[in-house]
Amino acid sequence: MISAAKRIRDFYALKPGAGIIQTEFGYYCLDKWKEQGFIDDKTNLGELFGHEDTGVAGFWGLGWCEASFYPAFEEIVLEDRGEYELVQDFSGRHVLYFKGRRNGFMPEYAGHPVKDMKTWEENCKWRMNPETPERYANMERDLNHSIERAKQGCWTQQSVVGGYMYLRSLMGPEDLLYKFYDEPELIHDCMKTWLELADRVIAEHQKYLTREGLHLEELFLAEDICYKNGPLISPDMIREFLFPYYTQLINNIKSRQTNKNLLLQIDTDGFAYPVIDLYREIGMGYMSPFEVASDCDVVEVGKKYPDLLIRGGIDKRVLASGRDAIDKMIDRIMPVMKKRGGYIPTSDHGVPEEVPFEDYLYFRKKMLEFKD
């Protein structure tokens, strides 16, 4: 077992006092730091900031913030609006971007591909056919790296776009809320299609793992079901429209491997407290990224749920507020959470460009004090 695998397994075992894994959620600040001359395209951020191999063997192919379409929509510019351009993206959404810039900011969505059952079937459903041969053509090649890491003891994690995030990418956040009431049969058909595709692809992944005497240890759902004040749909709606499909997928995964232990991780922005107990009903044991701007506090959560694995909880606003503020945040969170175990600190989303490079570097060096 490689050292990275040992460290991540200490995390999953909630080992008190275990060394804190050094990693980050992501960055929205890199262009700014390049303009300022602190980094360039050759800079190794991992070496610069002391990041390490997290010890996870990831299995993908089922979306992140959008449905896993095959084929994807053609990305085309629909309209030139001077400083901006309206683009059809790979998920069929109409998105208003800054001209020539696609990342580092929150895009504005002007339209989504699913308006009703007809547009769902014509635009999207066929793109999620689990029997499309091309979806599997290069799977063995694509999985080779993850399989080799799993053989070295790394933690095996299957990632899937969560049901709410998937539905939102199809219909848009506002129209989706109406659809739950007005067209529940459409929602269920979308979720049935989600399940069929996820189950089929994961079954293929499990075949490769089984050949090596390995198994999946975690199902990660990118859900984003909360906002500033709590969940975007009610607990009853979550139980009706999401949980039956999640439960079936979990049961199917377990049925295909001898080790029946399967950890469920839920990733959601916003105020997550109201859904912690809800998702624990279907076996959630890991949650991320605990957005501090929405009043999430990993110390508080860690005390209330001592068996819950936690990732995130570093306030990106504090990273932009100077070194004294950074020190206070670290001193309040890190000694407690390291003693508890089961915590990986990252920014509660991508590091924004308001964070000065020198202060972020200071933050990373301070975090290295908790590595061992």
Question: What tens digit of pLDDT does each residue of 88-109 get?
Answer: 999 999 999 988 777 766 779 9
pLDDT of residue 25: 94
pLDDT of residue 322: 97
pLDDT of residue 104: 65
One-letter amino acid identity for 347? S
pLDDT of residue 100: 77
pLDDT of residue 356: 97
Per residue of the chain (372 residues), give pLDDT as tens. Answer: 999 999 999 999 999 999 999 999 999 999 999 999 999 999 999 999 999 999 999 999 999 999 999 999 999 999 999 889 999 999 999 999 988 777 766 779 999 999 999 999 999 999 999 999 999 999 999 999 999 999 999 999 999 999 999 999 999 999 999 999 999 999 999 999 999 999 999 999 999 999 999 999 999 999 999 999 999 999 999 999 999 999 999 999 999 999 999 999 999 999 999 999 999 999 999 999 999 999 999 999 999 999 999 999 999 999 999 999 999 999 999 999 999 999 999 999 899 999 999 999 999 999 999 999
CA–CA dist 204, 325 (Å, integer)? 48
Tell me the β-bridge partners of 98. Answer: 84
pLDDT of residue 101: 77
At 274-331, the pLDDT tens digits run: 999 999 999 999 999 999 999 999 999 999 999 999 999 999 999 999 999 999 999 9
Looking at every residue in the chain, the average pLDDT score rounds to 96
- Beta-carbon contacts of residue 86 (< 8 Å; ≥ 6 apart): 77, 78, 79, 94, 95, 96, 110
Cβ contact 315:327 at 8 Å:
no
Cβ contact 160:222 at 8 Å:
yes
Cβ contact 359:326 at 8 Å:
yes
Q: What phi and psi values does residue 238 have, to the nearest 5 degrees?
A: -60, -45
CA–CA dist 176, 174 (Å, integer)? 5
**What's the token pair of residue 149?**
């890491």
